[in-house]
Structure 1
Amino acid sequence: MATTTVQTPPPTRATPLVLAAALTTVTLWASAFVGIRAAGHDFSAGALSLARLVVGSVALGALVAVRRVPLPPRADVPRLVLCGVLWFGIYNVALNEAERHVDAGTAAMLVNVGPVLIAVLAGLLLHEGFPRTLVVGCAVAFAGTVLIGVATSDDGLTPNTGTLLCLVAAVTYAGGVVTQKPLLSRTSPLTITWLACLIGAMCCLPFAPQLVGELGDASGEGLAWTAYLGLFPTAIAFTTWAYALSHTSAGRMGSTTYLVPPLATLMGWAYFGETPPSLAIAGGALCLSGAALARRGR
């Protein structure tokens, strides 16, 4: 990934709209953790990823066709492909499989290590700066991740599959954000989101036979949740995220996702009656504290 300097626009009158876009994203992404758990009863991880991305790609493609927005320059294609593979392809499959092993709230807490990684990558690759608190914040967040891993493991020492896959999702999420940021200075958020979603769907095409087989046995609830995931947490939330990201720094936008874990935990409790283990909640608090500390001074 090439080192890139990104100029962040100064605050403008659009700031309330940017905040609204960020909050929309956070709320819909929190609901996705619940939706994935629900749809996972009918669909395997890869099949669900493909179905969700196909729905999102179709919805976004229709909007792009109506608005006739221009495509990105050829020079941006490699970066766009990387964004699509990391954030829409690998991330979705890893998270879907992870939520077969951990509850929605725990998954959200683990994935929310992503903002710390975004801060590190943005400092290295986008020259957004390195506050001194970043190192301490990373250490605290890592300790929280270890604590969650112990809380959700089978023997108390080795993190389970769900924990490791959530960390894979966090890494690919961070890589996707930092890869996406420079693209938004030259192309509309809608176009970037649509193309990245389409690339992610293409990455998941090997799961097409599984999806076809599982569709016939899927319940109405599973189909409804899959459609919801494609339209709302994917098509809408990723577009509002890209819009907000185009108006601020990658590190600062990453900090808005601190709200996702508590929202996802609350939604998981309301829908499934599930709550993370007490030790995992303590680890989640450490993750959020470390992430907040890492963002101080930005």
Structure 2
Amino acid sequence: MEQIIPSEPRAGRLALAAAGVTVLLWASAFVSIRSAGEHYSPGALALGRLLVGSLVLAAILVVRGEGWPKRAAWPGILGSGVLWFGLYMVALNWGEREVDAGTAAMIVNIGPILIALLGGLLLKEGFPARLMAGMAVSFAGAVVVGVSMSGGDSGSSVLGVLLCLAAAVLYAAGVVCQKPALRHGSALQVTTFGCVVGTVTCLPFAGQLATEVARAPLSATLNMVYLGVFPTALAFTTWAYALARTTAGKMGATTYIVPALVVLMSWMVLDEVPGWLTVAGGVLCLAGVAVSRGETGALLRRLRGRGAPAEAARRA
């Protein structure tokens, strides 16, 4: 007992550090996607990013000798691979061709509320009033963002908002799929094979990628490689590590600062700053998440509680 108790704060600090790495790298991804997207189409950029990420993760998996995850992990790996690693990245890449990086991050950060919504539908957790109120506030914020960008080429801006909303839905669905898989496989296993599944999902864009790699400037290709190594291989692994070791409510809370980091990074790197009405809409999106925070945290703590016996058996 004397050896176990001191390890708990240490595990919490490691999980917090892992979450911090994820937040910083995912924030940088919005900026890199915006930059690389000038030369790569959405599907080609997703496939290139996933190919790089899969190669890096597979090499680490071989070196560590972890092998294949248990059969029980595969439904979650397949679901998160197709929805989160594959379709989410295509939708986000496409959305960022139509809206700036900060706006995209604000809309996608509705995801934590949608995780709770999917949990209510799929896990019979119900729909508490606080959760529904938060959803209403966040979607009102998304509407404000769309209206604020309706000047000029309104079709493109509305399309961008819708694509980012679709990305938020895919992200939430992917997390709900991934959570049970982490009870039966390590963070590295679940991330590696999820990334491989996402790569296979994006293979229809292989022809586009081959054509665009030959024409794109080196800076754009390096951005794609960066996306594969850091926001994908590293950040998705640190996310899974933290999700398996902390309450998901705390994990969800860490993503609230992503839009602020993205706005700061996009201002410094891309000279992009959303208009005041867009920022107000983004604040509404985040306010809705904050309203729902208590219900989301309770749901995900219950999810973690359900996995505790399986985790204890796996460690035994």
Q: Give the alignment of 1:31-70 within 5 angstroms.
A: 31-70=28-67
Q: Distance in 1 between matches of 2:182 and 2:75?
A: 14
- Counterpart of 1:207 in structure 2 is 205
Cα distance per residue 1:31-50 (max 9 Å; x no partner): 00000011112211110000
Query: How many equivalent pairs are there?
Result: 288
Normalising by structure 2, we get a TM-score of 0.86
- Deviation, 1:78, is 2.8
Residue segments in structure 1 that go unaligned for 5+ positions in a row: 1-10
Relative to its length, the structure with more helix (as a share) is: 2
Which residue, out of 107, 124, 130, partners 1:110? 107
Alignment match of 1:12 (pick from 8, 11, 33)? 8
Q: CA deviation at 1:120?
A: 2.2
Q: Which moved more, 1:12-21 or 1:84-93?
A: 12-21
Instruction: Output one character per residue of 1:196-229: Cα deviation in whole Å (capped at 9) or x when no partner.
Output: 0000011111111111111111111101111100
Q: Are the structure 2 counterparts of residues 156 and 206 from structure 1 closer, same or farther at C-alpha, using a change threshold of 3 Å?
A: closer
Choose 1 or 2 for highest CA Rg.
2
> Offset at 1:132?
4.2
Identical-residue share of aligned pairs (%): 55
Say which is worse superposed, 210-219 or 69-78, in terms of deviation: 69-78
Q: 1:256 Cα deviation (Å)?
A: 1.5
Alpha-carbon distance in structure 2 between the residues aligned to 1:123 and 1:65: 38
Aligned residue number for residue 272 of structure 1: 270
d(CA) in 2 for partners of 1:196, 1:123: 24
Aligned to 2:311: none
Q: Secondary structure at the match of 1:153?
A: coil
CA offsets 1:88-118 (integer angstroms, 9 cap, x no match): 1100000001000000000000100101111
Matched letter for residue 57 of structure 2: L
Residue 261 of structure 1: which of 244, 259, 262 is its match?
A: 259
SS class of match (1:160): helix
The whole-number CA distance in structure 2 between the counterparts of 1:19 and 1:210 is 39
The two structures, once aligned, show a CA RMSD in angstroms of 1.9
Match of 1:74 among 71, 74, 78: 71
Indicate conservation of the 8 Å contact 1:90/1:172, yes or no: yes
- 2:180 aligned with 1:182: yes
What secondary structure sits across from 1:187 in the alignment?
A: coil
Of 84-93 and 246-255, the range deviating more from structure 2: 246-255
In structure 2, the partner of 1:222 is 220
Q: Is the 8 A contact 1:118 1:250 kept in 2?
A: no
Contact 2:72 2:184 in 1 (8 A): no
How far is 1:170 from its partner? 0.1
- Deviation digits for residues 44-90 of structure 1, max 9, x if unmatched? 11100000000000000000000011422223323321110000110
Structure 2: tracts of 5 or more residues without a match: 1-6, 298-316
- Is the CA contact (8 Å cut-off) linking 1:119 and 1:251 kept in structure 2? no
SS at match of 2:274: coil
Q: Quick one: distance in 2 between partners of 1:21 and 1:32?
A: 16
Q: Distance in 2 between matches of 1:276 and 1:185?
A: 40
Q: 1:142 to 1:50 in 2, by over 3 A?
A: same
Q: Helix, strand or coil: the match of 1:41?
A: coil
**1:24–1:240 CA contact under 8 A, matched in 2:** yes
Match of 1:193? 191
For residue 142 of structure 1, what is the aligned residue in structure 2? 139
